[in-house]
Amino acid sequence: METDETLDGLRQELRRGVISVAVLSLLSKPQYGYSLVSILEQKGLAVEPGTLYPLLRRMEKQGLLESQWDVNQARPRKYYLLSAAGRETYDQLCHDWRSMASGLDELIGASNDQPAKPMD
Amino acid sequence: MTNQPNQWIERYTYAVTRQLPEAQRADIDKELRGLIEDLLEARTQDRAATDEDVQAVLVELGDPESMADKYRGHRRYLIGPELYPTFVTVVKIVLGAIAIAMTVVFVIQTLLTPARVVDNLLTALTNLLQGGVQGFAWVTISFGLTEYFRTREGKDAVKLAPAWKVSHLPELPEKELRITRADPIASIILAVLFTVALTFALDLFGIWVFLHDRPGMAVPFLNAAVFKPYLPFVWAVAALGILHEIAKLIARRWSLRLLALNTLVDVVNFALSLALFSNPAIWNPDFMAQMAQSGLVPAETEAFRTMSALWGQFTSYFVYLIGLGFGVGLITRLVRAVRIRRGSSAAGIPQVF
């Protein structure tokens, strides 16, 4: 039971940062919240709307995103788009992600070849 | 039946937005409605949404409380988990001190007037209840304020904090700047005892006379009728004092901020004492007559004349005693401030509690 909780906690921590990068990656074109939910779900990065919507709002407050209500459709939707600062941040994060991912791949690959021995 | 599903949505968005800042409510409300409709559409495709659909979608969105927490970015507390243990300690101390004070008042009053024991007991119980409620309320208000200013500060700190250096590590507090746990706890107990006695048994501040051949009698120093209007100020000063002791209990070492609060408490205390004792009417006008009546210093004796002279001097010089106390406090604070400055100038940053 307790290891399940631990695993859930670690998973959540791991996903939190990844989701932010994923969201930024999708916003070079304007998207509204629910379209992001669907796209992320298809990519295996499912995120609850209750997490995503506040996240978008926070990123807008931080100046990473700009938003606009589209009232021409059947129901009004709030579209988000990367700001100039958001684009810069996203580029930097991509760079960080690639170096982290390749480093981690090496580590995971290494430990898969030689399963870690218990410490003496 | 068509109204029912919409009503759930209304209630849901209301439950989330009512906890959020006014300026964001309309926008978040609109956004949530859009989201709920999108989720419904995905769920029902082309058929009309039923009540069950709406309920399922809302359950999927989850508890509006935690939704609001996420929108807000932090949880709201009257007294947060960091302060709560100290809060419980202080509540216990204050309620305990009130109970002890009421018991002491009751015992002494019963010794002085054994015939009115039932009356005294009833008064004591009523006062205990009132005092307990008052004490609890003031402690809660103090902690609520502390929590409020802490969270507000925390938000600013994120923006303003300068780059951290090793030299910013706090100095190990000098022995003289440390505050032991016992100091604030004892001060809170004393403040409560004092306030309870001033409120419910002003007579106890006086001379108690127990002679073999007469009933016990207390000769009060103060004139109750003149003193009574000042009581709300006494409570306010006591509450401020307890707030200061709570701050000490949390910080556990002297800082310039804590000294500033200490100064405020002392100045307010000093002002109230001056207001009280610069008015000669505050003293019991019949003190000497009652002393004579008590049998301790019968009138027309040498002892009575000496006592009269002493009482006259005591009442006219008491104001200076208060001033002396204030002065001593001032010097103590100056010494502490110098110590803190010396410590923090080495680290190059101002001390904050």
Identify the three-state secondary structure at position A45: coil
Question: How close is the nearest chain B Cα to the Cα of A85, in Å?
Answer: 18
pLDDT at A112: 63
pLDDT at B348: 47
Question: How close is the nearest chain B Cα to the Cα of A78, in Å?
Answer: 7
pLDDT at B351: 45
* Residues 6+ away with beta carbon under 8 Å from B123: B200
8 Å CB contact of A78 and B67: no
8 Å CB contact of A54 and B70: yes
Cα-based distances in Å from A63 to A33, A83, A89: 17, 7, 10
Locus of tokens 């306030």: B195
pLDDT at A113: 60
Of the residues B9, B31, B39, B159, the best mutation for testing chain A's interface (the one with the most A CB atoms within 10 Å of its CB) is: B31
Q: Is B247 within 8 Å of B261 (Cβ atoms)?
A: yes
B283-301: average pLDDT: 87
* Residues 6+ away with beta carbon under 8 Å from A6: none
pLDDT band at A109 (very low <50, low <70, confident <90, very high): confident
Residue B272 has pLDDT above 90, yes or no: yes
Residue B175 has pLDDT above 50, yes or no: yes
Distance CA B291, CA B314 (A): 15
A62 at B interface, C-beta within 8 A = no
Q: Which residue has the higher pLDDT, B215 or A101?
A: A101
pLDDT at B201: 82
Q: Work out how many CB contacts closer than 8 A connect A with B.
A: 44
Total domain count for chain A? 1
* Residues 6+ away with beta carbon under 8 Å from B151: B74, B80
ipTM: 0.77
pLDDT at B4: 63
A80 at B interface, C-beta within 8 A = no
Cα-based distances in Å from A37 to A42, A79, B65, B311: 9, 13, 21, 84
- Rounded to the nearest angstrom, the gap between the alpha carbon of residue B327 and the centroid of all alpha carbons in its chain is 25
Domain chopping of chain B, boundaries: 3-72, 84-148+167-347
Residue B349 has pLDDT above 60, yes or no: no
A87 at B interface, C-beta within 8 A = no
Residue B148 has pLDDT above 70, yes or no: yes
Average pLDDT, chain B: 84
pLDDT in tens, B183-240: 898 898 888 888 888 888 888 888 888 777 777 788 899 999 999 999 999 988 988 8
B309-316: average pLDDT: 90
pLDDT at A114: 58
Instruction: Kindly state whether residue A56 falls inside one of the protein's structural domains.
Output: yes
Residue of B nearest to A56 (CA): B71
- The boundaries of the domain holding residue A46 are 2-111
Residue B158 has pLDDT above 50, yes or no: no
Residue A19 has pLDDT above 50, yes or no: yes
Q: Give the CATH number for residue A55.
A: 1.10.10.10
Residue B153 has pLDDT above 70, yes or no: no
Residue B160 has pLDDT above 90, yes or no: no
Distance CA B35, CA B13 (A): 11
- The two tokens of residue B326 are 């204030």
A77 at B interface, C-beta within 8 A = yes
Q: Is A75 within 8 Å of A87 (Cβ atoms)?
A: no
| Backbone phi, psi, residue B136, to 5° | -60, -45
Instruction: Kindly state whether residue A120 falls inside one of the protein's structural domains.
Output: no
pLDDT band at B173 (very low <50, low <70, confident <90, very high): low
A5 at B interface, C-beta within 8 A = no
Residue B276 has pLDDT above 80, yes or no: yes
pLDDT in tens, B86-143: 889 889 988 988 888 888 888 888 887 788 888 888 888 998 898 889 889 888 888 8
- The two tokens of residue A74 are 């059947």
Residue A76 CA neighbour count, 13 Å, CB half: 13
Instruction: Kindly state whether residue A91 falls inside one of the protein's structural domains.
Output: yes
Distance CA B353, CA B351 (A): 7
Question: How close is the nearest chain A Cα to the Cα of B163, in Å?
Answer: 20
B57-84: average pLDDT: 84
pLDDT above 70 as % of chain B: 90
pLDDT at B207: 87
